[in-house]
Every structure is written in C-alpha cells, then in structure tokens.
C-alpha cells in the first residue's frame, strides 16, 4: 500500500511538471526522482516514534508529562520506603529468605539510588519546561530549498513566492502560476506533511536559494 501511494504521488508530481510551460519533457523523470528523494530524506530525518515506523517531531507535552510522573512516583516510593513498618521489612526478608538486617541495608541502597536518580530527573523537568512549545522544523525548510533547486537547476525555471491562495484570489489561469508552491505542496505530501502554512515555508526555501554561503550545483 505504501509503495502504491508513493507511486501515485510521484505520478502526480510528473503530471504537474508536464503542465508547466517551457519545461523539457526529457528532464521530468529526473526531476521527479530528485523531488521524491528529497521527500524521503525529510522523512528519514524524523525520529521513529512507534513500532510501525511512523515518524514525527518529538512530542514535547508527552515528554514533560512522563518525566513529571516518573519524578512523582519515585518521590512517593522513597517516602514509602523510609516509613516501611518493621513487620513489612520482616515479611520481605521472609519472602527473599534474607536476614532482617540485610533487607534493611538493601532498602537503604534502593532509597539512595532513587534519590540520586531524582536529581537528573528534576533537571530534565526544568529543561523540558524551558523549551518552546513549537520548535522550528529546519529540515522542512531544507526540503523547500531542495524543491527550489530542482526548479533552478533541472527545470530551468525561476521559482517565485506566489502562493496557490494568491493565485485563486487573483483569478489567474496561467498554467505556470504559483508553480513552485504547487510542486512544493505535492512534495510535502510525499514527505508526509499535511496542513502546512505554505507562506513561511516558501519564503524560507527561496531565502536559502539566494544564500551566497550555499554553493550552487553548477
């Protein structure tokens, strides 16, 4: 199913490129290959978050909640261990066939280990709380840049900042209108990105294309 979906998106990109004016049909297969490769690289940059291999950005809220819960349970465990009744210690010794004194020493070691573990967890809580809720996806900007490079180096077209929304508002019917935005949108779909704010991404991609510190492929 995944292979079929990928092939369908590749075909969609090829059809879109074929509809652009002044594009040599001979370069379209290579352009599609490069665009799909860029999408694959983006997906590979995301951490694997479940056994099915689905990828996404780190879930900050989930990480915060998990660390807080661990800290809470460790603190509670230490409180319980420090006030463990004599009869409970004796029962543990009986269950483990260990002398009463050894059980108490072992419990003290556990309490010390928990206390040592709580310190870095407290630091992790502070670090996670200080992080911004929304993290810039730099790899997404790179993907937008790579689409712009395909326009410049393979299609021999100049990518523009015109968005599909602007195209609709201006009632433009040109086949080449918002070409970069349209190809970028389908490439994002190949990368598993949906409901993306295209404006900032288009700006980022074209900005990187003009960056003198990034060498051209010429």
Q: Are 44 and 87 in contact (CB under 8 A)?
A: no
Q: Are 170 and 113 in contact (CB under 8 A)?
A: no
Where do we find the tokens 């990828």?
55
Task: Give the pLDDT score at 128.
Answer: 75
pLDDT digits (tens, 9 = 90+) for 172-216: 444 445 899 999 999 999 998 888 888 899 999 999 998 877 766
Q: Where are the beta strands (DSSP E) in the chain?
A: none
Residue ranges covered by each domain of the chain: 2-57+136-209, 60-130
Answer whether 0.85 is exceeded by the pTM: no
DSSP notation for 17-48: HHTSTT--GGGHHHHHHHHHHHHHHHHHTSPB
Task: Give the pLDDT score at 40.
Answer: 92
SS3 category, 115: helix
**Which residues of the chain are modeled with pLDDT < 70?**
1-2, 47-59, 131-136, 163-177, 215-218
């Amino acid at each position: 199913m995944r292979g079929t979906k990928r092939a369908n998106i590749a075909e969609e990109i090829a059809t879109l490129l074929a509809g652009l004016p002044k594009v040599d049909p001979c370069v379209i297969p290579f352009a599609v290959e490069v665009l799909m490769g860029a999408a694959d690289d983006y997906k590979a940059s995301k951490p694997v978050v479940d056994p099915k291999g689905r990828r996404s950005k780190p879930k900050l809220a989930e990480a915060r909640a998990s660390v807080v819960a661990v800290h809470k349970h460790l603190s509670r465990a230490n409180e319980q261990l420090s006030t463990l009744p004599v009869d409970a210690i004796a029962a543990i010794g009986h269950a483990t066939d260990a002398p009463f004194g050894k059980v108490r020493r072992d419990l003290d070691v556990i309490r010390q280990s928990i206390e040592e573990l709580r310190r870095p967890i407290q630091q992790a809580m502070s670090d996670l709380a200080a992080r911004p809720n929304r993290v810039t996806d730099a790899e997404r900007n790179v993907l937008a840049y790579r689409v712009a490079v395909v326009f410049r180096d393979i299609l021999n077209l100049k990518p523009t900042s015109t968005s599909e929304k602007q195209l609709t508002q201006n009632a433009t019917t040109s086949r080449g209108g918002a070409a970069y935005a349209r190809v970028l949108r389908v490439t994002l779909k190949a990368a598993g990105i949906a409901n993306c704010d295209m404006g900032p991404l288009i700006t980022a991609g074209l900005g990187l294309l003009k960056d003198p510190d990034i060498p051209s492929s010429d």
